[in-house]
């Protein structure tokens, strides 16, 4: 089995398995522990404050956005491109079709290309922010840089592969490797915020809400 | 306030069978319903500002009620920036006032933000409906030489409440030497 | 009650295990270290942007404590104690600016709870907690002094308003008015001022001879057992008097 076949086959399965399974376990553990130890969440449960809290931070409509417009804009665009680009990339769509015969809408290739560059640009901004702003530097750990690297690596290699810079095969292998690596680390690191964000916002939104105060 | 209304039902495992209401909300209610009346001219020559206590505004939801009272009470009212739910803590919260001792210095230092906020309003009266804020801002007043008066709503009411003639004590009966 | 416990890593571990909950675990893990909380904190701003005062950094100290469990040493505990009691007033401002809504106040409060397990609570807070247990209020005001103060304030008030009263333990009243124990101790006029408002508003109100202190310093101390006890005092008073509402002083 070639390296390509390995990454395209069993390792991809493994990556998706760890990613999806890991996140399910995270969510189950949250419910398991919280029903025992976090009773106020359920007692003061409120859909209204749950959605308001999530809504005001998904579309940046909050005081932080007013106070830090640039960081908010970059953060918003970064996350948007991070999710949309890989999901709606034509080349990825072809792979889904090959394997499962399923297909969905995809982005025009030039748009996806720009979005990749934007993602990388935003990532560099976030890294610079960590390096240059003293109050961000002191809270930054090595893990923060490593995880930012792991997140950006699939985009950098993907860009190189699309434009066939360097040795295509090597770049492609690296692209697949980093993509899978990113999926695998999500459940075990702060990147789990991609799901836990909703839980955290919900509990805080309800806690503020029952005091008639906004959490945004 | 925060303890009884919001935390106690959690600690004690069930809701209260009575309603908990903060004075600020209650006073606003009285004014709204016309049960008490205030003479706005009493503080007409003073510029007022309002300190939102963390556990009354942000964690107690009474910020709007306080603004409503102020409309009946002050002619010249200036908000601190930021204010309401986004207000800064005065530094006296979380038990910082009663901790006293070695914590005092930290408390006064952390109040610098509040002192500057108050100074920026140019107010002569800082209203606050919280004993922690009240004591802290009085200390800040001295420490940072703000030259303000710190008052609770009740203290201002005492001077501004309109008392119907028939309820007043008869002046001529009182011979105060 | 926060009894005098010596440094005891085992108890610390027990406290960590007892206090671990899903929210804390989540918050301590997902913090993205974005630094947006830094300048929302008055401690950070007032202390020349001392990095130690950044809410995320303070949260991290609690995380360390959670990781260390029984491997804590006295030096760590000392530093930890000053962080959770001296560098955060649990005002929750930073939470409003945190994209994830991480509740540093709850984290700090949990940190204080860990200190309680070591008997490491600011001396003056311990005194107030003892007073709550003994006298039902934080300022060691005896029931006799309390009633005296109320009667004295009633007399003062009647000089201005002859019809005004300060009802005590009036069953079935609409409103029970509770105060901060600093009032009878240092600011008794607060009570007559409130009475004046209630009188003019025609409120059917009462004060209670017991459970009249609405403060709860045990909450700030992080001693939730004592905090529950204290709020039970007020609840008992309200239920005993069958009031519809309990008002809390300014």
Residues C73 and C145 in one domain: no
Residues C169 and C106 in one domain: no
Handedness of CA B72, B73, B75, B80 (dihedral sign): negative
Q: Which domains does chain B have, with CATH numbers?
A: 2-13+21-158 (3.40.50)
A194, closest residue in chain C (CA to CA): C30
Residues C143 and C115 in one domain: no
Residues C33 and C84 in one domain: yes
User: Measured between CA atoms, how close is A64 to chain B, in angstroms?
Assistant: 11
- Within B53-162, strands assigned E span 76-77, 125-127, 149-151
In a domain, C79, yes or no: yes
Residues C204 and C100 in one domain: no
Residues C149 and C117 in one domain: no
In a domain, C235, yes or no: yes
Q: Which of C121, C155, C172 is the last residue of a domain?
A: C121
Number of structural domains found in chain C: 2
In a domain, C128, yes or no: no
In a domain, C127, yes or no: no
User: What value of ipTM does the predicted structure carry?
Assistant: 0.91
In a domain, C113, yes or no: yes
Q: Please give the average per-residue pLDDT across C222-231, as a whole number.
A: 91
Cβ-nearest to A211 among B9, B10, B59: B59
Residues C116 and C148 in one domain: no
Pairing verdict, β B76-77 and B47-50: parallel
DSSP A31-44: HHHHHHH-HHHHHT
C158, closest residue in chain B (CA to CA): B169
Range of the domain at C75: 9-121
Q: Which domains does chain A have, with CATH numbers?
A: 3-209 (1.20.950)
Separation CA C106–CA A44 (nearest Å):
16
Residues C146 and C84 in one domain: no
Separation CA A92–CA A70 (nearest Å):
31
Interface residue of C53, C239, C250 to substitute, partner B, most B CBs within 10 Å: C250
Tell me: pLDDT of C61 over 80: yes
- Within A20-143, strands assigned E span none
Chain C residues closer than 8 Å to A130 by CB: 33
CA angle B15, B16, B21 (to 5 degrees): 120
Q: Which of C91, C121, C151 is the last residue of a domain?
A: C121
Question: What does the pLDDT look like over B76-131, one tens digit per residue?
Answer: 999 999 999 999 999 998 889 888 888 999 999 999 999 999 999 999 999 999 99
Separation CA C250–CA C245 (nearest Å):
16
Handedness of CA C17, C23, C26, C27 (dihedral sign): negative
Cβ–Cβ below 8 Å for C96 and A68? no
Cβ–Cβ below 8 Å for A43 and B85? no
- Within C72-143, strands assigned E span none
Count the neighbouring beta carbons within 10 Å of the beta carbon of residue A134: 10
Residues C110 and C13 in one domain: yes
pLDDT digits (tens), chain A, 216 positions: 788 888 888 999 999 999 999 999 999 999 999 998 888 888 888 999 999 999 999 988 888 888 999 999 999 999 999 999 999 999 999 999 988 899 899 999 999 999 999 999 999 999 999 999 999 999 999 999 999 999 999 999 999 999 999 999 999 999 999 999 999 999 999 999 999 999 999 999 999 998 888 888
pLDDT band at C2 (very low <50, low <70, confident <90, very high): very low
Tell me which residues of chain A, numbers 83 to 112, contact chain C at a CB-CB cutoff of 8 Å: none
Element (H, E) at C245: strand C245-248
Torsion of CA A62, A67, A72, A74, to 10 degrees: 160
Buried b or exposed e, range A65-102, using 16+ CB within 10 angstroms: beebeebbebbbbbeebbeebbebbeebbeeeeeeeee
Q: Which of C121, C153, C172 is the last residue of a domain?
A: C121
Q: Taking the CA atoms of chain A, what radius of gyration do you get in angstroms?
A: 20
Q: What is the pTM for the complete model shown?
A: 0.90
Peptide bond just before B82 cis, omega within 30 deg: yes
Separation CA C28–CA C62 (nearest Å):
9
Residues C50 and C105 in one domain: yes
Q: Which two tokens stand for residue A143?
A: 């893990």
Pairing verdict, β B19-22 and B149-151: unpaired
Q: Give one word for B84, left, alpha or beta, with left for phi > 0 and alpha for psi -120 to 50.
A: left
Residues C112 and C151 in one domain: no
Q: Give one word for C140, left, alpha or beta, with left for phi > 0 and alpha for psi -120 to 50.
A: left
In a domain, C38, yes or no: yes
Residues A157 and A174 sit within 8 Å (Cβ to Cβ): yes
In a domain, C132, yes or no: no
Return the half-sphere exposure (C-beta side, CA atoms, 13 A cut-off) of residue A216.
19
What percent of chain B has a predicted confidence (pLDDT) above 90?
71
Separation CA C248–CA B27 (nearest Å):
11
Residues C29 and C103 in one domain: yes
Cβ-nearest to B61 among A43, A63, A212: A212
In a domain, C4, yes or no: no
Chain C residues closer than 8 Å to A29 by CB: 22
Q: How many angstroms from the chain centroid is the CA of residue C91?
A: 12
């Amino acid at each position: 089995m070639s390296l390509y076949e390995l990454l395209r086959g069993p390792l991809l399965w493994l990556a998706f398995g760890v990613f999806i399974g890991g996140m399910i376990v995270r969510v189950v553990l949250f419910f398991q522990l919280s029903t025992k130890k976090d009773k106020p969440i359920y007692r003061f449960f409120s859909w209204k404050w749950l959605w308001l809290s999530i809504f005001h931070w998904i579309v940046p409509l909050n005081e932080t956005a007013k106070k830090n417009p640039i960081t908010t804009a970059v953060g918003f665009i970064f996350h948007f491109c991070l999710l949309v680009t890989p999901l709606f990339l034509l080349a990825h769509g072809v792979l889904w079709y090959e394997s499962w015969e399923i297909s969905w809408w995809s982005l025009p290739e030039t748009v996806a290309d720009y979005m990749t560059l934007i993602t990388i640009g935003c990532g560099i901004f976030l890294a610079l922010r960590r390096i240059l702003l003293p109050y961000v530097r002191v809270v930054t750990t090595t893990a923060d840089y490593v995880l930012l690297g792991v997140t950006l690596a699939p985009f950098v290699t993907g860009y190189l592969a699309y434009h066939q810079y360097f040795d295509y095969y090597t770049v492609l292998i690296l692209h697949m490797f980093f993509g899978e690596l990113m999926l695998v680390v999500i459940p075990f690191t702060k990147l789990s915020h991609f799901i836990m964000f909703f839980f955290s916002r919900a509990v805080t939104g309800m806690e503020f809400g029952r005091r008639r105060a906004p959490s945004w | 306030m925060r303890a009884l209304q919001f935390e106690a039902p959690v600690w004690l495992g069930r809701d209260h069978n009575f309603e908990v209401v903060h004075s600020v909300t209650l006073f606003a209610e009285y004014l709204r319903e016309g049960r008490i009346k205030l003479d706005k001219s009493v503080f007409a020559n003073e510029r007022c500002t309002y300190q939102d206590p963390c556990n009354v505004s942000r964690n107690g939801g009474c910020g709007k009620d306080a603004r409503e009272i102020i409309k009946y009470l002050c002619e010249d009212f200036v908000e601190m920036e930021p204010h309401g739910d986004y207000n800064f803590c005065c530094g006296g919260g979380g038990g910082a006032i009663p901790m006293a001792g070695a914590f005092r210095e930290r408390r006064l230092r952390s109040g610098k933000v509040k002192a500057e906020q108050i100074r920026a309003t140019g107010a002569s009266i800082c209203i606050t409906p919280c004993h922690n804020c009240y004591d802290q801002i009085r200390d800040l007043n001295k420490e940072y030489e703000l030259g303000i008066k710190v008052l609770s709503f009740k203290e201002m009411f005492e001077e501004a409440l309109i008392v119907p003639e028939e309820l007043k004590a008869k002046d001529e009966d009182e011979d105060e030497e | 009650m926060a009894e005098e416990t010596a440094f005891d890593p085992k108890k610390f571990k027990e406290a960590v295990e007892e206090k671990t909950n899903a929210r804390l675990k989540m918050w301590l893990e997902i913090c993205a270290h974005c630094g947006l909380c830094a300048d929302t904190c008055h401690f950070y701003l007032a202390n020349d942007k001392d990095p130690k005062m950044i809410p995320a950094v303070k949260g991290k100290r609690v995380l360390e404590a959670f990781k260390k469990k029984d491997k804590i040493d006295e030096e760590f505990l000392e530093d930890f104690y000053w962080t959770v009691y001296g560098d955060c007033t649990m005002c929750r401002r930073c939470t409003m600016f945190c994209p994830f809504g991480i509740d540093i106040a709850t984290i700090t409060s949990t940190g204080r709870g860990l200190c309680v397990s070591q008997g490491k609570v600011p001396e003056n807070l311990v005194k107030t907690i003892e007073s709550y247990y003994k006298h039902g209020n934080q300022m060691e005001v005896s029931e006799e002094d309390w009633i005296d103060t109320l009667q004295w304030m009633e007399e003062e008030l009647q000089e201005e308003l002859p019809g005004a009263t300060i009802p005590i333990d009036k069953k079935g009243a609409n409103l029970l008015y509770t105060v901060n124990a600093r009032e009878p101790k240092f600011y008794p006029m607060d009570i007559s001022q409130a009475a004046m408002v209630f009188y003019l508003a025609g409120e059917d109100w009462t004060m209670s001879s017991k459970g009249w202190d609405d403060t709860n310093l045990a909450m700030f101390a992080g001693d939730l057992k004592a905090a529950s006890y204290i709020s039970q005092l007020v609840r008992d008073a309200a239920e005993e008097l069958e009031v519809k509402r309990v008002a809390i002083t300014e």
